[in-house]
Every structure is written in structure tokens, then in C-alpha cells.
Amino acid sequence: MSAAAKARLLKDLQKITSDPNCGVSAAPCENNVMIWNASVLGPPNSPYEEGFFHLRLQFTDEYPYKPPKIKFLTKMFHPNIYSDGAICLDILNNKWSSVYDVNSVLTSIQSLLDEPNAASPANAKAAKLFVESRSEFNRIVRKTVEESWDFNPQNPPKLMYLVDQKHTIILYYVRFCQSSPPVG
């Protein structure tokens, strides 16, 4: 791993732990600072409200000049999220800038949950329902929200979280992340 990428990731970790953003949380795996586990709470007043969604971030030596690969580990139903959990978001592709850090990327992903872009779908069914049948879209999303509560902590990510009623995340770092597979 490059010294520059490692230094930047440690800076990102310091920022996200010292100035936590309500609704997002992340930490690197114990034995690999290039792989992080994260969580995003569903935005208030959205169909994703009360959802607790887990993600995996994989960084390369080119970080922060190239974006991390990010996938949802939690099953998602969203116009801009592929069935394998990959995210269709411009800042993770052609609009990436080295000014983005882990916190800002996770916040952007959380915002995407509230503001899907149906014109650029990764999930055609979700996009169609979002545009043509919002009530059916919301019903399916609510089901995925409920399923997010049952995420098995024995499977990745190896982070556990305590969520209070005000959607504040308190992160408890749990070891053994090295067994988690990288993002493909």
C-alpha cells in the first residue's frame, strides 16, 4: 500500500471518528486499512427511514486520486443500486475528486437513498416503480428496511453498531475483519 493512500485513510478515519456525521459510520478492518466497513442509516422522511444499511469500501494505492469501490452488503431496492450492491453514483466514477473523503462519500450515498436518479438506473424495476408506482416502490423499500434490521452480525461487516432513537450511531469496533472478502 502506498504511504500517501495510508496517510489519507488515517486522516479520513480521524475525521469520521472525531466529528461523526449523524447517520453514517465507518472504520477500517483491523489488519487492512485499505478495506473498510461502513453503515448508513436511511434518511429521515424517506422510504428508507429507520433502515440500517451496511457497506464495504475497498481502496487502492491511488486513493484519494481514484475513488474506492463501494458496495452495499445489505440487500437494497433502489434505482441507483445494482443487484450485487454496487452503486451508480457520479462521484464514485467520472465526477470523483480527491477532495472527497470517506465521510463525504457516505453522506452522498445516504443522500442518494433520499433522492434517486431514475434517469440513470442501475435497477430498472426500481426506477420504473419509483416513477410509475411510488406506493409499490415504497412498499418494497419498507420490506428491505425491515430486512436490514436482521442483518446477521456473524457475516460481514465485522462492525457492530448501537443506534439510538435520534439516529445517532455509536460505533463499537469489533475485530476479525480480516476474514471478510474484498469488493469484486
Tell me which residue of 123, 5, 18, 128 sits closest to 64, measured CA to CA. Answer: 5
Q: Amino acid identity, residue 159?
A: L
List, as one string, the DSSP characters of the chain. --HHHHHHHHHHHHHHHHSPPTTEEEEEETTEEEEEEEEEEPPTTSTTTT-EEEEEEE--TTTTTSPPEEEESS----TTB-TTSBB--GGGTTT--TT--HHHHHHHHHHHHHS--TTS-SSHHHHHHHHH-HHHHHHHHHHHHHHHTT--TTSSP-EEEEE-TT--EEEEE-S-GGGSPPP-
Tell me phi and psi for residue 131, to 5 degrees: -85, -45
22, 29, 88, 177: which one is catalytic? 88
Tell me which residue of 172, 180, 178, 179 sits closest to 31, measured CA to CA. Answer: 178
Active site residue 88: yes
Catalytic residues: 88
